[in-house]
């Protein structure tokens, strides 16, 4: 159940097994939100672009341009309002208290402590200028080309504001920890409890990406070969973090007090905060080979080797670097081909009717494995969440389904300690797949054409591995327990066009 009915979660913290927790009715948490009526907002987005192409000579072309973007601030319409929680407006002296044992609010309840109710959220940037420059150079004639380019691109940043109507006084939400399924409130269903909030840092900072590339193209034996370096650097990206997450606490871990009694912003539950400042880098080597349809054969293949990293995330509001690391696979290869069978001009008419007109096609794709994080299943810090496990620094070994990585390289962090293993501590299995097809067109008179299609998806009936279990402490930790990808799928069809 979710929303206004409530949502339970189980993490094995009661018995060591999530299913056993469910069967015994001992949930890790229970969340519930009040209902919210229809809400609506609007914003204008403006943009201008100018570009000029300058032909220096017959071998060299320069293209320059600039784009200006202005995002109007999101405005609530029909008399509705925003409710943004801002830490600068929070005053602990004007707040309510929290019973450390039951989590029930004490004193005069003030759910608007730190809430700013406005028609418009923040000022929108008006000076986002995005320059672009590109060159094309053919030093040795029409069969060789060198290209390079650079540009700045902006993202629209109003999206996170859509959560602000969910704040008091328009909507309330609470989360209770270590509850019973049949009575999550402990016999006090009407008691006021700390409300969860959403917050957006203002003024807005526009996320931006600097993109740059250089490529070398050469015609070889009637085919186009291209090698490229493509990269980008992203700055001021938005991240979401719980800014009311407490640091490891022994009393909460021992269940002597409730979490909400010791949060940084006393009197409230979790505060989901959108901030600006995350950065990332992408670097890749890419190669392509293309052959246009000639002598019945069309061919296109590409290979990418890439590295995509971020300098942090939102797990810990006080240490963004905890989530720094790689976030995507390294290698991607694809191949697509089509072949028109040679036409038979001699021989019996029946043979030509059967043999001529067929076309074969295939598509193959290979992906390397993705980076995976190893996490704990239960809270060992008294913060209400489970973090990543500890590790020795290297989990590589000979890979099998029963032991994909060195599980001995990981261990549970000591109580009140946050695990030191990074995101992407281990790498999942790669995957590959081959599809194929056979086609033929039959023409009737001048206007009618009937196409026969036979297609085979996963033509070799090859299975790929799913990712291993990365939940430390579970019986299948480090094991691959299932195979991924669909089985071979064969289909035929007829298509009439006229």
The pLDDT value recorded for residue 2 is: 43
Q: How far is it, in rounded angstroms, from Cα 85 to Cα 112?
A: 8
CB 211 within 8 A of CB 270: no
Q: Which token pair is 32?
A: 């519930």
Enumerate residues 6+ apart whose C-beta is below 8 A from 211: 149, 150, 151, 152, 153, 230, 231, 232
Q: How far is it, in rounded angstroms, from Cα 48 to Cα 25?
A: 59
Which residue ranges of the chain lie beneath pLDDT 50?
1-3
Share of the chain above pLDDT 70, in %: 96
Supply the DSSP symbol for 166: G
Q: How far is it, in rounded angstroms, from Cα 433 to Cα 304?
A: 17
Largest Cα–Cα distance in the chain?
99
Strand ranges inside 56-196, DSSP E: 60-71, 75-76, 82-85, 97-98, 105-106, 115-118, 128-137, 144-154, 173-180
* CA-wise closest residue to 166 among 195, 202, 192, 191: 195
What is the per-residue pLDDT across 436-486, written as a single tens digit (0 to 9) for each?
A: 999 998 887 778 888 899 999 999 999 999 999 999 988 999 999 988 878
Helices and strands in the chain: count of H runs, count of E runs? 3, 32
Element spanning 350, H or E: helix 349-355
Q: How far is it, in rounded angstroms, from Cα 232 to Cα 276?
A: 18
CB 420 within 8 A of CB 321: no
Q: How far is it, in rounded angstroms, from Cα 425 to Cα 428?
A: 10
Supply the DSSP symbol for 477: B
Q: How far is it, in rounded angstroms, from Cα 176 to Cα 30?
A: 5
The chain-wide mean pLDDT, for the chain, equals 89
What is the per-residue pLDDT across 115-126, written as a single tens digit (0 to 9) for each?
A: 998 887 766 778
Q: Which residues of 110-125 are buried (b: 16+ CB within 10 A; e: fewer)?
A: ebebbbbeeebbbebb
Contacts of 108-113 spanning 24+ positions with Cβ under 8 A: 109/192, 110/267, 111/168, 111/169, 111/172, 111/195, 112/168, 112/169, 113/267, 113/268
pTM here is 0.84
End-to-end CA distance of the chain: 52
Q: How far is it, in rounded angstroms, from Cα 53 to Cα 49?
A: 14
Q: How far is it, in rounded angstroms, from Cα 155 to Cα 204?
A: 12
Share of the chain above pLDDT 90, in %: 57
What is the per-residue pLDDT across 41-95, written as a single tens digit (0 to 9) for each?
A: 777 888 899 999 999 998 999 999 999 988 777 777 777 788 889 999 999 888 8
The pLDDT value recorded for residue 125 is: 75
Q: How far is it, in rounded angstroms, from Cα 345 to Cα 372?
A: 58
The pLDDT value recorded for residue 1 is: 35
């Amino acid at each position: 159940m979710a929303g206004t009915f409530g949502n339970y979660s189980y993490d094995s913290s009661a018995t060591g097994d999530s299913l056993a927790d469910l069967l015994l009715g001992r949930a890790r948490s229970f969340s519930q939100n009040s209902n919210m009526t229809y809400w609506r907002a609007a914003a204008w987005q403006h943009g201008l672009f100018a570009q000029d192409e300058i032909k220096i000579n017959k071998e060299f072309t320069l293209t320059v341009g600039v784009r200006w973007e202005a995002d109007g601030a999101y405005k609530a319409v029909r008399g509705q309002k925003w409710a943004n929680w801002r830490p600068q407006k929070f005053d602990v002296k004007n707040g309510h208290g929290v019973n450390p044992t039951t989590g029930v609010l004490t004193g005069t309840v003030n759910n608007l402590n730190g809430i700013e109710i406005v028609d418009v959220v923040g000022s929108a940037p008006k000076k986002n200028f995005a320059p672009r420059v590109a060159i094309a150079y053919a030093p040795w004639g029409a069969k060789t080309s060198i290209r390079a380019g650079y540009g700045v691109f902006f993202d629209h940043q109003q999206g996170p504001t859509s959560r602000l109507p969910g704040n008091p006084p328009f909507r309330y939400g609470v989360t209770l920890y270590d509850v019973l399924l049949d009575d999550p409130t402990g016999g006090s269903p009407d008691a006021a409890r700390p409300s969860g909030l959403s917050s957006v840092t203002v003024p807005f900072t526009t996320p931006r990406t600097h993109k740059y590339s250089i490529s070398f193209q050469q015609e070889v034996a009637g085919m186009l070969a291209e090698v490229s370096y493509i990269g980008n650097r992203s700055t001021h990206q938005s991240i979401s973090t719980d800014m009311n997450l407490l640091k490891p606490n022994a009393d909460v871990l021992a269940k002597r007090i409730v979490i909400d009694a010791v949060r940084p912003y006393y009197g409230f539950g979790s505060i989901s905060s959108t901030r600006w400042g995350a950065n990332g880098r992408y670097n890749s080597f890419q190669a392509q080979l293309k052959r246009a349809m000639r002598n019945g054969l069309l061919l296109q293949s590409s290979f990418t080797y890439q590295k995509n990293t971020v300098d942090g995330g939102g797990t810990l509001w006080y240490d963004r670097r905890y989530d720094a690391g790689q976030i995507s696979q390294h290698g991607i290869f694809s191949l697509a081909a089509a072949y028109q069978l040679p036409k038979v001009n001699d021989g019996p008419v029946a043979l030509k009717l059967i043999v001529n007109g067929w076309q074969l096609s295939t598509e193959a794709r290979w992906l390397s494995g993705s980076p995976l994080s190893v996490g704990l299943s239960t809270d060992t810090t008294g913060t209400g969440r489970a973090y990543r496990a500890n590790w020795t620094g290297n989990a590589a070994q000979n890979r099998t389904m029963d032991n994909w990585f060195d599980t001995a390289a990981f261990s549970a962090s000591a109580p009140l300690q946050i695990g030191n293993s990074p995101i992407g501590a281990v790498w999942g299995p790669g995957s590959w797949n081959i599809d194929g097809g056979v086609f033929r067109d039959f023409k009737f008179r001048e206007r009618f054409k009937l196409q026969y299609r036979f297609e085979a998806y996963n033509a070799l009936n090859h299975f790929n591995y799913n990712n291993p279990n990365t939940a430390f402490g579970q019986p299948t930790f480090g094991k691959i327990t299932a195979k991924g990808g669909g089985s071979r799928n064969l289909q035929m069809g007829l298509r009439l066009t006229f």
